[in-house]
């Protein structure tokens, strides 16, 4: 009868952890900017949304004009789309084009041009810093085995969301022996916002 309580605690910990993993998965943010407008006169172009966070951005040009893209923080894979007006840094009429966002971009401005004049802008941010507000670290524990190491005795189901096996240490926990306490194997998992995975601390 004594073995049921630790197993129940382990199962509850695993279920709670799976719930946290599901909650911690970031929502998929769109990295597509849609361009609408006309060359006029006057030239009126609009972009939605006005800011993007990601490692790349796709421009969907719904206008009937080819628009050069100028930003030192965007690249067409063959260098930055800087003010030298790289011929590859253009989004053709009624087509899409994808550009890489440079690490370090933090609300960096991107200019869309028509006849050598800026007609619309949006900003890009490269997510190189973990976002605030991720899940708190999670402590995992199970009964210390009578023989062998904690790493060897790790039960299945504890490597949540990309966490590796191992990293266990020995400790004492109150829940052992019907609340009287005892030896346990323990480790802490931290959530890495930039990779959306759990990692052993």
Residues 121 and 140 in one domain: no
Same domain, 173 and 139: yes
Is 149 in a helix, a strand, or coil?
A: coil
Give yes or no: residues 13 and 67 share one domain.
no
Q: Which of 109, 125, 141 is the last residue in one of the domains?
A: 125
Q: Does position 29 have pLDDT exceeding 60, yes or no?
A: no
pLDDT for 84 equals 59
- Model pLDDT, residue 168: 92
CATH of the domain at 47: 2.60.40.420
Give 76 or 132, the one with higher predicted confidence.
76
Domain count, the chain: 2
Q: What is the pLDDT of residue 124?
A: 92
Q: Are both 92 and 173 inside the same structural domain?
A: no
Note whether 15 and 58 are same-domain residues.
no
Q: In the structure, what pLDDT confidence band is assigned to residue 177 with cuts at 50, 70 and 90?
A: confident
Report DSSP letters for 154-197, one per residue: PPTT--GGGPPS---EEEEETTHHHHT-EEEEEEEEEEETTTTE
* CA gap 22, 149 in Å, rounded: 30
Whether residue 61 is found in the same domain as residue 145: no
What does pTM read for this prediction? 0.50
pLDDT of residue 121: 92
Final residue in a domain of this structure, among 71, 93, 125: 125
Q: In this predicted model, what pLDDT tens digit does every residue of 52-84 receive, in sequence order?
A: 888 889 999 998 898 999 888 888 766 678 765
41/119 same-domain check? yes
Say whether both 9 and 44 belong to one domain: no
110 and 174 belong to one structural domain: no
Let me know whether 10 and 89 are in one domain: no
Predicted pLDDT at 115: 85
Segment 82-129, tens digit of pLDDT: 765 567 788 999 999 898 888 878 888 998 988 888 899 999 988 854
Same domain, 47 and 13: no
HEC string for 67-131: EEEEEEEEECCCCEECCCCCCCCEECCCCEEEEEECCCCCCEEEEEEECCEEEEEEEEECCCCCC
Question: What domain range includes position 104?
Answer: 32-125
């Amino acid at each position: 009868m004594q073995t049921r309580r630790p197993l129940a605690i382990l199962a509850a910990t695993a279920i709670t952890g799976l719930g946290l993993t599901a909650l911690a998965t970031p929502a998929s943010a769109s990295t597509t900017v849609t361009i609408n407008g006309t060359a006029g006169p006057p030239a009126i172009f609009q972009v939605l949304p006005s800011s993007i966070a990601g490692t790349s951005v796709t421009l969907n040009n719904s206008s009937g004009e080819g628009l050069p893209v100028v930003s030192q923080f965007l690249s067409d894979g063959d260098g930055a789309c800087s003010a030298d007006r790289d011929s590859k840094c253009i989004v053709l009429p009624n087509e899409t084009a994808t550009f890489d966002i440079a690490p370090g971009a933090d609300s960096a401005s991107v200019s869309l041009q028509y006849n050598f004049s800026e007609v619309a802008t949006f900003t890009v941010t490269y997510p190189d810093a973990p976002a605030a507000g991720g899940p708190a670290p999670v402590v995992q524990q199970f009964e210390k085995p009578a023989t062998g190491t904690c790493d060897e005795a790790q039960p299945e189901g504890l490597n949540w969301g990309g966490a590796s096996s191992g990293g266990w240490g020995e400790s004492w926990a109150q829940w052992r022996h019907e609340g009287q306490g005892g030896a346990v194997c323990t480790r802490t998992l931290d959530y890495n916002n930039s990779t959306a995975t759990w990692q052993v601390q």
